[in-house]
Chain A
Amino acid sequence: MIRARRARLAAALAVLGANAAPAAEPPPAEIRPPAGAASCTGCHAAGAAMGALDGRPESEIAGALAAFRSGERPATIMNRIARGFDEAESRAIAAWFAGRGTP
């Protein structure tokens, strides 16, 4: 048991050189996710029923958030989430997802 674990550790150490190089530059400040955006992908992802937001038009995401926030669009959960973001925050999140590749 202990021997097996040690073998695994040694194997992990052995591939380490290959893994760690070369470190890409950290993303510049402008492309950091705006406040809240990182949490959306806890539910929204490619292949999920709550589909990916990446690459969707900014106006579509921002419009949906506004409609959820006002209650105009029925929802199980997005009404409760959208009320946590004002119009400017919603637009920033929408723009960020829109700029991330295609769905």
Chain B
Amino acid sequence: MCATLSGPAGTPAPTRRALIGGAAATVLACPARAGTAPRVVVVGAGFGGATAARYLARGGAAVSLVEASPTYVACPFSNEVVAGLRGIEAQTFGYDGLGRAGLTLLPATASAVDPDARRVSLADGASLPYDRLILSPGIDLRFDAVPGYDAQAVTAMPHAWKAGAQTVLLARQLAALPEGGTVVLSAPANPYRCPPGPYERASLIAHFLKTRKPRAKLILLDAKDTFSKQKLFEEAWATLYPDVLEHVPLSSGGQVTAVDPAAMVVRTDFAEYKADVACIIPPQRAGRIAVLAGCADRSGWCPIDPVTFESQRVAGIHVIGDAAVAGAMPKSAFSANAQGKVCAQAVLDLLAGRAPQTPKLINTCYSLVAPGYGISIAGVFHPANGLLADVPGAGGTSPLGAPAAQRAQEAAQGEDWYRTITRDAFG
């Protein structure tokens, strides 16, 4: 039966080459077409993709989840690793939980998508048919945006904007900072992964310098004049780090125009900064597979339908998480998880011939400005004029001037959120 059925979309039988023997090939061919179960392929087992895959499997779809990396290293709270407050193990998740979720985890890189044949190619030559495809590939760093900052520069000047080896490298470089040394951190223009992330990182590096590196300085070069939770960050910086952290916004010449990793020099139009440690967070775009699939527009990101997250450019492909243009919703793990659940339900509905319902989604981002000092921003979003827009009157940031007890409560809630969201995504 497995060998003779062809998929609902009328696609040819899956091809399996070199890598997998004939027996395995037969097994693989079956579940994608078992009974009437619709076939959904999800690419990327991060916060968006892992969540979507788990909820799809719960809803009865035959799900193949393609993930290139053997483990997941989570970005939220990785700024604590940078500042020596936490180990990278607390950020690292295995995929065993996903294996138990009734889905098929394929450890492979998706290398191409044929939207007409509805097939995803894997780097090893295999090809997966799908009825619906969900892409949650996260971001690619743009190594063509800041002169001098290419893929080789990341050893001398880590970005640490994809958690893992880069995070550990930056933490090590900071730990080895000479007394009275200079750290330079650069924040990109919008849009990018985790809008408050650079400012949380600046806060926690400042905390590290204040407590561990007497007379050291942090210069935050910023390609923007305004940023997320700005008043709350500035309130905290003024009391906690007045002598440590210098923020140079765009209008004061904060935009980085070039770097020289060999000389450890960071340049703006107005000045040249010699750094002992330099962390450059470059501009970003949607993960490459989304671009290859034709889902990205000239901005480098993927416009979507705000009800189903289906690509506005390619039918049958849904894009969630950082790669998507989700209107007012920020690129966050919270957003990716919430979008994963909404998209999974919409895909189940579409495959069952039901009209998807109009969703509402929540985002909340906690940031730590010092141990025990947490702040947050929240939003509620709904489709409006083809985009996800803020529900008027909802959301906003923690209050300015709040008592220390409330900051401590939000710091604890951030930790609590992290435990819950990682369990919801990875099991």
Q: A residues engaging B (CB < 8 A)?
A: 5-6, 8-10, 12-17, 19-27, 29, 32-36, 38-45, 47-50, 76-77, 80-81, 83-85, 89
> Interface of chain A, helix or strand or loop or mixed?
loop
Residues A6 and B62 in contact, CB atoms below 8 Å apart: no
Per the 8 Å Cβ criterion, residues 352-409 of B in contact with A are: 352, 354, 357-362, 364, 376, 378-380, 382, 391, 393-396, 398, 406, 409
Residues B380 and A50 in contact, CB atoms below 8 Å apart: no
- Cα–Cα distance between A12 and B410 once the two chains are bound (Å): 41
- Indicate whether B104 reaches chain A with its CB closer than 8 angstroms: yes
The 5 closest A-B CB pairs, nearest first, are A84-B380, A20-B31, A23-B37, A84-B394, A39-B362
B80-113 interface mask toward A, CB cutoff 8 Å, 1 = contact, 0 = none?
A: 0000000000000000000100111111100000
- Cα–Cα distance between A12 and B355 once the two chains are bound (Å): 34
Residues A48 and B348 in contact, CB atoms below 8 Å apart: no
- Cα–Cα distance between A89 and B393 once the two chains are bound (Å): 15
Residues B362 and A40 in contact, CB atoms below 8 Å apart: yes
Residues B357 and A35 in contact, CB atoms below 8 Å apart: yes
Query: A14 is contacted by which of B24, B36, B108, B423 (Cβ under 8 Å)?
Result: B24
Query: A12 is contacted by which of B30, B107, B348, B349 (Cβ under 8 Å)?
Result: B107
Residues B410 and A76 in contact, CB atoms below 8 Å apart: yes
- Indicate whether B3 reaches chain A with its CB closer than 8 angstroms: no
- Indicate whether B334 reaches chain A with its CB closer than 8 angstroms: yes
Q: A22-B34, A76-B409 are in contact. Are A36 and B20 (CB under 8 A)?
A: no
Q: List 29 A-B contacts (CB under 8 A).
A: A12-B104, A12-B106, A16-B30, A17-B31, A19-B102, A19-B103, A20-B32, A20-B34, A22-B35, A24-B59, A24-B60, A26-B351, A26-B352, A27-B60, A27-B348, A32-B349, A33-B341, A35-B360, A36-B362, A43-B364, A45-B424, A48-B416, A48-B419, A50-B417, A77-B378, A77-B410, A81-B380, A83-B393, A84-B395
- Indicate whether B124 reaches chain A with its CB closer than 8 angstroms: yes
Cβ contacts under 8 Å, A9 to chain B = 19-20, 106-108, 124
Residues B420 and A32 in contact, CB atoms below 8 Å apart: no
Residues B342 and A20 in contact, CB atoms below 8 Å apart: no
Cβ contacts under 8 Å, A6 to chain B = 19, 124
Cβ contacts under 8 Å, A43 to chain B = 364, 413, 416-417, 420-421
Residues B345 and A33 in contact, CB atoms below 8 Å apart: yes
Nearest opposing residue in chain B for A36, CB measure? B360
Cβ contacts under 8 Å, B74 to chain A = none
Residues A23 and B60 in contact, CB atoms below 8 Å apart: yes
Cβ contacts under 8 Å, B380 to chain A = 36, 81, 83-85
Cβ contacts under 8 Å, A38 to chain B = 338, 341-342, 345, 359, 361
- Indicate whether B412 reaches chain A with its CB closer than 8 angstroms: yes
Q: A23-B60, A89-B360 are in contact. Are A29 and B354 (CB under 8 A)?
A: yes
- Indicate whether B136 reaches chain A with its CB closer than 8 angstroms: no
B47-64 interface mask toward A, CB cutoff 8 Å, 1 = contact, 0 = none?
A: 000000000000111100
Cβ contacts under 8 Å, A22 to chain B = 34-35
- Cα–Cα distance between A93 and B424 once the two chains are bound (Å): 19
Cβ contacts under 8 Å, A15 to chain B = 99
Residues A25 and B60 in contact, CB atoms below 8 Å apart: yes
Residues A10 and B420 in contact, CB atoms below 8 Å apart: no
Q: A16-B27, A80-B395 are in contact. Are A39 and B361 (CB under 8 A)?
A: yes
Known: A76-B413, A77-B376. 16 other contacts (CB 8 A): A5-B70, A6-B124, A14-B24, A15-B99, A16-B27, A19-B104, A24-B60, A33-B341, A35-B357, A35-B359, A35-B360, A39-B362, A43-B364, A43-B416, A48-B416, A83-B393
